[in-house]
Chains A and B, each alone.
Chain A
Amino acid sequence: MDAALLEQMLLGALLALSVYLPLRCGQLSLATPGFYAVGGYVAALLSTGVAAFAGSGATSPLWALLAEMVLGGILAGLIALAIGGPVLRLRGIYLAIATIALVEILRVLNLNLPFTGGAMGIFGIPQPFAHPGGYVLFTLALLALACWLCQRLEALRLGRAMAAIRDDELAAASLGIDTPRTKLLAFVASAVLAGVTGALAAHFLNAWNARVGSFDASITTLAFVVFGGSRFWLGPVLGGLALTALPELLRPVGDLRLILFGSVILLGPLFFPQGLVTAERLRGLGALLGRGRHRGRQAPQAP
Chain B
Amino acid sequence: MSVGRLLRVGTGLLTLTLLLAACGSDDASQPVDVAAGVPVGAVLALTGNANVYGQDQKIGLELALKQRNGSGGINGRPLTLALEDSGSDEPGANAAFTLQINRGVLALVGPTLSQQAFSADPIAQRRGVPVVAPSNTATGIPEIGFFISRVSAQSSVIAPLAIDRALKIQPGLKRAAVFYAQDDAYSTAETTIFQEALKEKGLEPVTVQRTQLNDQDFQNQISAALREKPDLIVLSLQAVDGGNLIRQLRELGYRGLIVAGNGMNTPNIYPICQKYCDGLLIAQAYSPELDTPANTAFLKAFKAAKGGAIPPQLTAQAYTALQVIGEALVRLDQRQPLAGAPLAATRKQLMQELLAGTYATPLGEIRFTPEGEVIQSQFFVAQVRMDPGGRNGRFALLK
Contacts and interface: CB of A to CB of B under 8 A. Distances in A.
Interface in B94-139: 94-95, 98-99, 102, 115, 118-120, 122-123, 126, 138
B182 A119 contact: yes
Contacts of B84: 251
Interface string A139-161: 01000100100010010000000
B4 interface: yes
A6 B98 contact: no
A2 B90 contact: no
A132 B4 CA distance: 31
Nearest to B181: A119
20 contacts: A1-B22, A2-B98, A3-B21, A4-B98, A8-B91, A119-B181, A120-B115, A120-B188, A127-B126, A132-B22, A132-B98, A136-B18, A137-B19, A140-B19, A206-B119, A206-B120, A207-B115, A234-B10, A258-B47, A282-B6
Contact of A289 (B1, B122, B123): B1
A123 B144 CA distance: 9
A140 B6 CA distance: 19
Interface of A: 1-6, 8, 10, 107, 111-112, 118-121, 123-124, 127, 130, 132-133, 136-137, 140, 144, 147, 151, 154, 205-207, 209-212, 234, 247-248, 251, 255, 257-258, 282-283, 285-286, 289-290, 293-294, 297, 300-303
Contacts of A282: 3, 6
A78 to B, nearest CB: 25
Contacts of B18: 6, 10, 136, 140
B10 to A, nearest CB: 7
A136 B181 CA distance: 35
Interface string B242-270: 00000000000000000000000000000
A98 B3 CA distance: 36
A211 B89 contact: yes
Nearest to B95: A248
A119 B185 contact: yes
Interface string B160-179: 00000000000000000000
Contacts of B304: none
Contacts of B95: 4-5, 8, 248
Contact of A301 (B3, B23, B89): B3
Nearest to A112: B182
A10 B19 CA distance: 12
Nearest to B127: A131
B307 interface: no
B22 A137 contact: yes
A149 B381 CA distance: 62
A59 B271 CA distance: 48
